[in-house]
A and B are shown apart, each in its own frame.
Chain A
């Protein structure tokens, strides 16, 4: 257990290295939202998800993702203030069994320019990192792996993508996308 935070920290640093190395980022295709939604009905609180997007988007529809089931409250909504069309929003915080994460989305007009982790709280270490979706399964794996010396991999469940997509949908809802 003691090793976990250190390993994760190192992993995040490594991942940031990786992600900056990748020239084209754009990890999210909008099409990938479809299959998501219906996941564990277990987690309790269902707070109306995306609070009717007041800020940012100005016009257009606030189509809220109907599916924000297991989410708990929608906290921050930071708007990238002035310059015409660039806006960003942070989605609902989702309990994904390893911790709580929320997804941030930046859009220019109707185009998503950046998707990342807005907040990630995995047991005391509250972080806000510009890491993106796909680093999370690795964080999970590393977290598990760190508890057992001398294993070279972990086989099994990954909770994150469902939680990620829930939060992403609510962020998109806030931006009217």
Chain B
């Protein structure tokens, strides 16, 4: 399974040398690589293959849909976290950190059916996959896990990546565009409202239609986006107080608000 599923050279803005799709985690993850010099080297192909393996491995370990995944078995109490693969301990430790940082608004332990780190894992896995893309000729790369995006670098001539945020009221349109440095995750009722659980009431809740969080790490950004979607304004202020992370919310009345340094290009 080393061959990339799809590789195309594209013209247009930037020097986009590789576009690859990986079916994983119940969705498609895309990997895009940009380079100053023309073509993807063997080294890049190998690194992309490694990135895809990382995604598949994360799915195999953490899927709560696969009855025999270590995560499912842990949830049923068949194994302890010590008996689980090492990633499980790592992810649960990171989730505990994210819970603390979000003051409990992100809480995998408050999910119905037992601990469920799904809200962290997709971002975490994409961030790890991105880390595999380290060839020196890569000027920038994007790993997009169905709208949760990890990136580094930029396009040709240091032109920053631009990412659109979907309008939750008209999902085929964009509400705004951000200039990306690092990661961005978006959570909202439009996506899967019934899955947003308020850890304080243990009920499905969302206080805004959409919450996006940008920052250096997609795992934490993903967790914080979930937290802000549930907490609303309170969540926005919470992120404002964090170093390195920024947030934007779109209220049910359509009002858009964001933290001071959110990398908005056009409102």
Report which A residues bind B (CB closer than 8 A): 14-15, 17-18, 21-22, 27, 29, 31-32, 34-35, 38-40, 97-98, 134-135, 137-138, 140-141, 143-145, 147-148, 150-159, 161-162
Q: Which partner residue on chain B sits nearest A33 by CB separation? A: B65
Is B226 at the interface (CB under 8 A from chain A)? no
Is B149 at the interface (CB under 8 A from chain A)? yes
Select A151's contact among B164, B186, B188, beta carbons within 8 Å.
B164
Min CB–CB distance A100 → chain B (angstroms): 14
Select A156's contact among B155, B162, B188, B195, beta carbons within 8 Å.
B188
Select A134's contact among B23, B148, B171, beta carbons within 8 Å.
B23
Select A137's contact among B8, B28, B161, beta carbons within 8 Å.
B28
Min CB–CB distance B223 → chain A (angstroms): 15
Cα-based distance from A155 to B30 in the complex (angstroms): 13
Q: Which partner residue on chain B sits nearest A138 by CB separation? A: B28
Interface residue tally for chain B (C-beta within 8 Å)? 52
Q: Which partner residue on chain A sits nearest B3 by CB separation? A: A21
Determine the chain A residues whose CB is within 8 A of the CB of B26 once the complex forms. 32, 134, 161
Determine the chain B residues whose CB is within 8 A of the CB of A152 once the complex forms. 14, 32, 142, 155, 161-163, 180
Q: Which partner residue on chain A sits nearest B64 by CB separation? A: A35
Task: Contacts A138-B21, A148-B177, A154-B164 known; list 20 others, CB within 8 Å.
Answer: A21-B3, A27-B23, A31-B67, A32-B26, A39-B193, A135-B28, A141-B30, A147-B174, A150-B13, A151-B174, A152-B163, A153-B144, A153-B164, A155-B147, A155-B185, A156-B147, A156-B167, A156-B188, A157-B166, A157-B190
